[in-house]
Each structure stands twice: as structure tokens, then as C-alpha cells.
Amino acid sequence: MMTASGWSANQFAALLGAYRTAGLSDAAVNALLAVYAVGLIPGLLVAAPLADRYGRRPVALGALLLNLVATLLLMLGAGAAFWLAPGRLFTGISAGALLAAGGAWVKELSSPPYVPPGAETVAARRAGVFVSLGFASGGLCASLIAQWAPRPMVLAYLPHLVLAVLAWRFARRSPETRPERCAGAGPAAGRAPSGAASGRGGTGFWRAVLPMAPWVFAAPMVGFATLPGLVDGGLTGWRVVYAGVATAVVPGAGVAVQPLARWLAARGRLRTGAAGLLVMAGGFALAVPAAGHGQPVLALVAGAVLGAGYGLALTYGLATTAALAAPTALARLTSYFWSLAYLGMFAPLLISTLAAAFPVPRLLAAAAVLAVLCCALLVLLNRPRTGRPATRRT
């Protein structure tokens, strides 16, 4: 299910070059990217309390069916562009609901009593890894079909339909995992972030994730949505494949960096978040000459570095959210994190808007500096307190 969610998001992103060739303007394409985020954030915030109250299973399975319907609407967009906007909106709503309800479901199924004690260390990052796999494989598959198959704007979406149907058939066999205290709880049940949810006061969650969260998707979106359009001038006939390779390289690097994320987390979770922001800053710095001189290979390298930073930051965000959330508020607090993270999806639209006044390389350089400043803020706000006895948390 989580793979299907990521696949549905990036299958469209990989076709941006094809849609531009078909006549859509850059502004229209970037607006359709933003429509996804417009739907995703309400989907997260609505699905999370529903999942805490009525269960992970019904909300996640319903979201997966809506995800399938959204892809059908995008297929209709091949004949009438009118369907693209609702298709992207429903993709965002369904993906948001899957991230909230499905993410909590996966985390709980990866913890006792569903796995032996001690095997739950992968729980916090497992949902993020499979979403990233969907991002990588969905974009590459869609671009390869669009490059060589007939009726690309229809056939490129067929693999997701198959994946969504198979995911629904398998996922419906999994048990409900909602903690019993959620059942019958009033509307305020699991409200987060609260003192109980954060363990360090009501500001604990925001202090831990806010300086970093929007970068989680700002960096990869620049890597596979903005950079390919800036460097593909010499790739006549291969633009769609190049865009698909970019959508695979960026989140693929986020998956590949997971061993490093585990190594850093074992030495302090904050190190993972700080490293993610610094790696992103390096990716933005590499993107400056790539965009300035139209270098496709360097753009892919920059995208891979941005993707590695995304993987580190995502692991930090999910692990921190799981550590701060009370059992009855896991889906809700997770939805807050994903909502903050997906604000970064507006980055390509922001860059294209500011490009009317500033050169894009200068904007990318500013992003590198800003990422370093946010890293410093994250460390400053979350450094260990001194002058008081340490309390051991479980």
C-alpha cells in the first residue's frame, strides 16, 4: 500500500516532459504538481483522527481505492486535460490518507505483538522506505512506457492500477492494530501535540521537526521536478526518459542511504536530521553549476545528493514522531509531520515564480544557505539540556 502511494505521486512527475510536449505550459505543469499537495495535506489531517477513532484498516483500504480512482481520472486526462486537476487532487487526498492511516498501520504491524520483541527497530522507517521505493519505481516505469509505448498518457498509468489492486487484495488480510484506548474515544482522543504526546511539553514535537520537515520534500522535488527541465536542452528525443531516470535516482538515493541513517541514529537521532540538512545543502550547491551550465550528468549527481539528504531527513522525522507520539495519537502526530514535510512540494512552483525576478542558480544557492541555517536552528533548539539530571526514556 505504501509503495502504491509513492508510485501514484511520481508516475505523474515522470511525465512532466511529455505533458509539456503535448502543449501544457510550465506554469500549468507546476500548478498540477502543487494541486497534489493541496489535496494531500487535508487528506492527512482528516484521515489521521478517523484512523485513531475507527481503525487503521478501513481508512487505509478506502484511501487505496480512492488512489486507484485518481489514476483512472489521470488516464482520462489524455483525452481532456480537464480531468488532470481532479486526478491530481484525488491522488493527493488518497496519498495523504495512506500516509497517515497506512503509516500508523505499518508501524504497529512492525512492532510487538506482531513481531518478536527486539525486531521492531525498523518500524519507524519502514513506511518511509516503501514510499520511497514507490517514488523511485513509479517514475522510472511511467517514463519508459511514455518514451516508447503507444498512447503514453494512458498506458503509463496501467502499472499503478495493477499495483493498487494487488495491494488492496493483500492488505485487506492484515489485522486491525488500533490501540484499544482509541476505541470509543471522544473527538479529543489522541489530540497532538500535547504534553503526553511529546514527553517534553507541548512544544517538543514542533521543536524537533519544524526546522527540518519542509525540506524533506523540497529537496527531492527540486531534484526530479525542477532540475531536469533546466538541463534537458541537449537531450532531444530523450527528455521523458531523462525525467524518469531523475525520479528514480533521487528517491533511490534516499533508500540507499538507509544504512548510514541507522548508523547515525544509533549515535543520536538528532545527528540524522542534521546530516540530512547538510547533505541537502551540498545537493543544492551542486545544482547551481548544473543549472547554470545545463549539465544533465551533474544535475543527476546533484539530484542523488538531494535524495540522500531526503532519506536521512525522512528517517529522522518518522523516528522522532514515533518516539514523541502517545499510542493513541500516533496517526494524528504522523499526519502533522507529513503535512509539514509536504509543504516542500511547493518548492518547484516557488522557484518558477521567483525565476521571473532572480536567476535560478542564485535561487538554488540561496536554498543551500538556508538549509545550513535550518540545520543550525535544529541543533540549537534540540541540543541536550545541561544542568539537570538526565532522565531515561523508553
Q: What is the mean pLDDT of the chain?
A: 84
pLDDT tier, 377 (very low <50, low <70, confident <90, very high otherwise): very high
pLDDT digits (tens, 9 = 90+) for 298-320: 999 999 999 999 999 998 998 89
Q: 300 versus 335: which is more confidently predicted?
A: 300
SS3 state at 178: coil
State yes or no: pLDDT of 189 exceeds 60.
no
Q: 128 versus 317: which is more confidently predicted?
A: 317
pLDDT tier, 186 (very low <50, low <70, confident <90, very high otherwise): very low
Position 297 scores a pLDDT of: 92
Position 392 scores a pLDDT of: 41
- The amino acid occupying position 202 is G
Lowest mean pLDDT among 195-199, 294-298, 364-368: 195-199
CB-CB contact of 171 with 1 (8 Å):
yes
Position 123 scores a pLDDT of: 58
Cell numbers linked to 159: 502499472
Cell numbers linked to 259: 544504512
pLDDT tier, 376 (very low <50, low <70, confident <90, very high otherwise): very high
Q: Measured in Å, how far apart are the chain's first and last C-alpha atoms?
A: 30
Q: CB-based contacts of 64: which residues, under 8 Å, 6+ apart? A: 1, 4, 94, 98, 102, 164, 167, 168, 171
pLDDT digits (tens, 9 = 90+) for 135-149: 888 888 988 888 888
Residue 319 phi/psi, 5-degree rounding, is -65, -40
